[in-house]
Amino acid sequence: MMTEDTIAMVLAGGVPTREQFSVLTMNRSKAALPFGGVYRLIDFSLSCLMDSDIERVGIITQFLPSSLIDHVADGYSWDMKGYQRCAKILPPYISYEDNHRWYRGTGNAILQNINFIKDRQPKHVFIVPGEHIYDVDFKKMLRQHEKSDSQITLAYKEMPEQRYCPRFGYVKKQDSTITDFIEKPDEPKSRYVSLGIYLFDTEVLLEEIEKRGEDRDFFDLVSHIIVPLANEKRIEGYEHKGKWCYLYDYLDYFLYHRDLLNGDLPLREWNIMTNLEDRDTGFRPPAQLYSSGNINHSLVAPGCIIEGEVESSVLFPGVHVKRNSKVTHSIIMHDAVIKENCEVSGLICDKDVVIEPHCKVVAMQKNLISRDSLILLGKSSHIQSKQKIKPGTHIKPGTIL
Amino acid sequence: MNNTIALILAGGQGSRLGILSQKRAKPALIFGGSYRIIDFTLSNVINSGIQTVGILTQYKPLSLMDHIGKGETWGFIGRKRLCRILPPYTGIKDTDWYLGTADAVLQNLSFVQKYQGENIFVLSGDHIYNMDYRKMLDFHLQKEADLTIAVQKVPLQEAHRFGIAVTNKSDKIVEFQEKPPHPKNDLASLGIYIFSREKLFKRLREDANDPYSDHDFGKNIIPRMIDKDNVYAYKFDGYWKDVGTISSYWETHMELLEGREDFDLHKWKVRKNPYDRSVGEKFSSFFSKSSRVENSIIGIGCSIEGKIINSVLSPGVIVKKGAVIEDSIIMNDSYIGSDTHMKKCVTDKDITVASDARIGMGPNTPNSKYQNLLSDGITVIGKQAHIPADTTIGKNCLIFPDVTEECFEGNKKIASGSTIHSKVEHFWEK
C-alpha cells in the first residue's frame, strides 16, 4: 500500500499567548487541551492519520509538553505501536552544534528533526497541525498528489466570504493548481483557506528545509517555504469538503462546544481514538443520574454523577454536580465537583476544580455570553463557599479563593 | 504477593440466565452498563496486588477471551505479571473436558507449579463484589490454615441456596453443608477460597482417584478437607451477589441504582476492557431538550430523547422521543423507537424496537415454557432481536436472539408468558 512509504510530522509545539487561552494553557500545550468529553485536540490529527494508514508519526513538541507526552504515550491508542510503527515525541534538544536549541519556527523544528525523516526513508511526508479539529482523508489527498505532476500538495477548504478570518492563510487557485498563497491578509482576497496540511515529496522537503536553514535562524514553514514555493513550483491543491475547525482562543473553544451540542460538529460520526489510560478515561463507571437532578441539551461523559440541574453544557469524565445546583452553558472538565446550591453559567472549568456550596459563578449578562464575560477556572482551583465570581474572572490553576 | 496466585473459575454456562448466556459464558455477561461480570473478580485480584492469575474457561469462551486478551487493561502486563486463559486441553486421559471445578484446577496444576504459588486463591468469575484479598490472606496465614473460605451471614430462610459453614468459636469450620434443606447455620460460602499448595495438591489427587466423586469443590473437596485439615471461615461483610438467575441479575441492577454506600461503582475501582467494541472512545452521551432521566445509569455514547426511569443503559443506546424506559436493563447499541414504552425488561445487545411498542405490560403470567426462568415479571429480549412497531408484549415473555418481524407472524399482541422463537437456525443448536 502506498501509505507504507509515507510518514507524518505533527506540529504540536505552538505557543499560545496568554490572551488566547488564558488559564487553560498554563499547564498544558494547546494540542493537549481536552475537548468534547473524552478527547484531547491531538486526537483528531492522530485519528485521521490512523484512518489513513499512516503509521509512522513524529510529534513536534516544545511548549509545556508533559500532558501531551503522557497522552500520546507509546502510540498504542492510534495503532502506532508495533513493527515499524511509531508515534514519537520530538522535543527540542541541544548538541555540539550551535543550531540545536529551542525550535525557531515550524521550519526550523522540522530541520532539527530531519534525521527522523531521513532514517525512515519515506517517499512522502505529511506535515499536519496537531491542534485543529478535522477529519481529513489523508489517503485521498495522497492519491491525488500521486496522480498530479506536483511535488507539493496542500489542503484547502472553501469558506463563505462572511466567515473571512484575518488569522488564516488563504490560497488562490486555478483548477487544482495553487497560484498564490496569502498569509493572514487584511481583507478577504480568496474564499479558499489553507488548512495547514501539507504533503511533500521527501526530496523536495529535505532540499528546501536544508536550503532555508542555511540562510536564516528563524524560519517558518508557511512564510519561508510554502509562500516562496507557490511562485517557484507547481503546488497541487486538495479540497477538503468536511469539517475543519481552528481554535484561536477560549471563545472559539467555548463556541465549538456549543456547536457540538447543536449538532453542528458531528464528532459522533467520526472515528476518534484517544488514550483511554490517560486519567483512566476508559475505565470510569457509566454516568449516574439521580432523580433529584435534571439534564437537557447536554453531553455527559462516563463517571459523572448528576444530582443537580444541567442544561446546555458539556461535562467531561467524573464531574459531580450536587443537589440544588444548576449548571448552564458551561464546559466542565474532568473530576470537577460543583457542590450543593450553586449557580453556574458561562463557565469553562478546568480539571479537579472544587466549587463549594452556595457559590454563584455566573457569566451570563442579559442572557448573553461574550468573550469578555466568560469565566475561566484554572486546574485544581478551589472556590470556597458562598462566593460570587464576577463575569470575566479568570482564576489561575491551583488558586484557593 | 510473589508466592500467591489466583485461579478464576469462568467455565460455567449459567443455564439459569437463559438466552443471556446462550452465546457467551456467564462471566462474560454485561453488568452495570459497561462491565462484564468477570471484571469484578479480576479487578479485585489486581487491586489486591496478586500478579499471576489463570482463568479457567470451558463454555463458549470466545467473548471472554476477546474481552480479557492478555489482561493488559487490568494491568497484568510486565515481567512479573501474568494473566493466562486456561482452556481444557487434550492430555493423557480420554475425557479431557473439565469434569467439575476441582478437576479444572487439577488439570492446571502445572500452571500453579510453574508460577510457584504457595497460597492459591480459587475464585469464581461470576460474582459481584469488591474485596481486598490481602486481608483474607493475612487471616489465612495467621490461622495457619490449609483452606480458608470467605463466608457471609445470610437470612436463615435463604441459607438452603448456599454452601453453609458451621464454625466453632475460633472460626474453624467443623462442618460444611452444600445447599442443605435444613441448614445448621447462617454463614454462606461466597465461593472465595485460599488453599495452601501442598494440601490442595494432595486432596485434588485423592479426589481424582475417587470414581464416585463429582470433582466439585463444594461437594467433594471441601467436606474432605474439613474432615482432615485446618479449614477456617473468613467473614466478609461487604456487598456480595451471585447473579446466576435472570431475577437476581435484574435485582442486583436495581440495587445498584439505589445508591447504596456499599455498592458504589464510582468507588470500587473496577477495571474493564474499553477496547472491546471500541467502547471507551465513543462520543459522550447526549441528552436532548425532550429527555428526562430519573435515577438511572447511562453508558457512554447514548443518545437520549425520551424518558429513562430506574434503568441501566449500556453504551451506545439510542432512545427516541416519547419513548419511556422503566425499571429496565438495556445492553449495548440498541435502538428504542419513538413512543415505545418498556417496563421491567432485560434486553441483550443490538436489539431494535420500532416505534409505538409496549413491552412488559399485562398480567404476571409465568412463562409457559420456561417457568423456572421467568416468573417474576421480567421480559427478556435476545441479541439482535427486532420488535416490530405497534406490538404489545406482556410480562415474563422471552424473545429469542435474532428474532425478526416475520417471527411475530403479524401478531401485534403477545400475551404475558409467551415465547417468540427465531426462524434462523444456527448449526450449533442442532
DSSP 3-state helix, strand, coil percentages of chain A (rounded to 5)?
Answer: 25, 30, 45
**CATH architecture entry for B278-429:** 3 Solenoid (2.160)
Rounded alpha-carbon distances, angstroms, from residue A393 to A15, A321, B60, B67, B100: 23, 21, 58, 47, 67
Distance CA B285, CA A302 (A): 8
> Rounded to an integer, what distance in angstroms lies between the CA atom of residue A69 and that of residue A50?
18
Task: Kindly report the CATH number assigned to the domain that includes residue A343.
Answer: 2.160.10.10
Residue A190 lies in a domain: yes
The tens digit of pLDDT for each residue in A98-156 reads 778 899 999 999 999 999 999 999 999 999 999 999 999 999 999 999 999 899 999 99
Residue B10's nearest CA partner among B128, B123, B163, B149 is B123
* CATH code assigned to B4-268: 3.90.550.10
Domain boundaries, chain B: 4-268, 278-429
Does residue A316 have a pLDDT over 90? yes
> Total domain count for chain A?
2
The pLDDT of residue A219 is above 80:
yes
**pLDDT reported for residue B318:** 97
Assigned domain for A279 exists: no
Euclidean distance between CA atoms B105 and B99, whole angstroms:
10
A363 DSSP 8-state letter: -
User: Which member of B278, B289, B295 has the closest CB to residue A291?
Assistant: B295
* Mean pLDDT, rounded, of chain A: 93
Q: CB of A315 within 8 Å of any CB in chain B? A: yes
Q: How confident is the model at residue B250 (pLDDT cuts 50, 70, 90)?
A: very high
Domain that holds residue A386: 288-395
| Position B116, amino acid | Q
Domain termination residue (choose one: A211, A236, A269): A269
Q: Which residue has the higher pLDDT, B414 or B112?
A: B414
- Pick from B34, B259, B284: which is nearest to A300 by CB? B284
ipTM above 0.85, yes or no: yes
Q: How far apart are CA B340 and CA A291, in angstroms?
A: 21
Both A161 and A43 in one domain: the answer is: yes
A149 plus A243 within the same structural domain:
yes
Q: Would you state the pLDDT for residue A2? A: 67
Asked whether the predicted pLDDT for residue B55 surpasses 60, the reply is yes
Of A125-129, B218-222, B226-230, B253-257, least confident by mean pLDDT is B218-222
What residues of chain B lie within 8 A of the CB of A268, using their CB?
Answer: 283, 286, 301, 303
The answer, for A163 touching chain B at a CB cutoff of 8 Å, is no
CA–CA dist A192, B8 (Å, integer) = 61
Asked, for residue A277, whether it belongs to a domain, the answer is no
Q: How many CA atoms lie within 13 A of B385 on its CB side?
A: 25
**Close Cβ partners of B62 (under 8 Å, ≥ 6 residues apart):** B24
- A280 within domain boundaries: no
What is the per-residue pLDDT across B37-53, written as a single tens digit (0 to 9) for each?
999 999 999 999 999 99
The residue among B107, B113, B37 whose CA lies nearest residue B68 is B37
Query: Averaged over A87-101, what is the pLDDT?
Result: 89
Which of A214, A238, A269 represents a domain boundary (last residue)? A269
Residue A363 confidence (pLDDT) above 60: yes
pLDDT of B396 strictly over 90? yes
Count other C-beta atoms under 10 Å from residue B184's C-beta: 14
CA–CA distances in Å: residue A241 to residues A50, A134, A155, A194: 19, 10, 10, 13
In a domain, A329, yes or no: yes
Beta-sheet pairing, B163-167 with B187-196: antiparallel
Least confident of A86-100, A158-172, A345-359, B34-48: A158-172
Quick one: average pLDDT of B137-163? 93
Residue A276 to residue B270, Cβ atoms within 8 A:
no
Cell of A251: 471563545
* Statement: residue B428 has pLDDT above 60: no
**Chain B residue numbers touching A322 (CB-CB < 8 A):** none
A371-388 residue pLDDT tens:
999 999 999 999 999 999
Count H helices and E strands in chain A, helices first: 10, 31
Nearest to A11 by CA among A148, A163, A99, A113: A113
**pLDDT band for position A182 (cuts 50, 70, 90):** confident
Residue B430: which pLDDT band, with cuts at 50, 70 and 90? very low
Shared domain for A315 and A224, answered yes or no, is no
CA distance A82 to chain B (A): 16
**CATH code: domain of residue A27:** 3.90.550.10
pLDDT at B252 over 50: yes
Answer whether B278's CB lies under 8 Å from B333's CB: no
Mutation for B interface: A35, A133, A296, most B CBs within 10 A: A296
Q: Is the model more confident about B394 or about B88?
A: B394
Number of helices (H), then strands (E), belonging to chain B: the values are 9, 33
Q: What is the pLDDT of residues B1-29, one digit of tens each?
A: 678 999 999 876 667 788 888 778 888 89
The residues on B that touch A, with CB distances below 8 Å, are 32-34, 73, 259, 265-266, 268, 270-272, 274-275, 278-281, 283-301, 303, 308, 312-315
Q: How does DSSP assign B100-127, residue by residue?
A: SHHHHHHTTHHHHHHTT-SEEEEEETTE
pLDDT digits (tens, 9 = 90+) for B70-113: 898 898 888 888 999 888 766 655 445 667 788 888 888 888 88
Residues A197-203 have a mean pLDDT of 96
Instruction: Say whether both A248 and A309 belong to one domain.
Output: no
Contact assignment for B300 to A301 by CB distance below 8 Å: yes
Whether B278-429 and B4-268 are alike in CATH topology: the answer is no
Q: How many residue pairs bridge chain A and chain B with CB atoms within 8 Å of each other?
A: 117
Query: Cβ contacts of residue B211 below 8 Å, gap of 6+?
Result: none
In a mutagenesis test of the A interface, which of B265, B269, B300 is the best target, namely the one with the most A β-carbons within 10 Å? Answer: B300
CA distances from residue B206 to B104, B210, B212 in whole angstroms, order as listed: 15, 7, 12
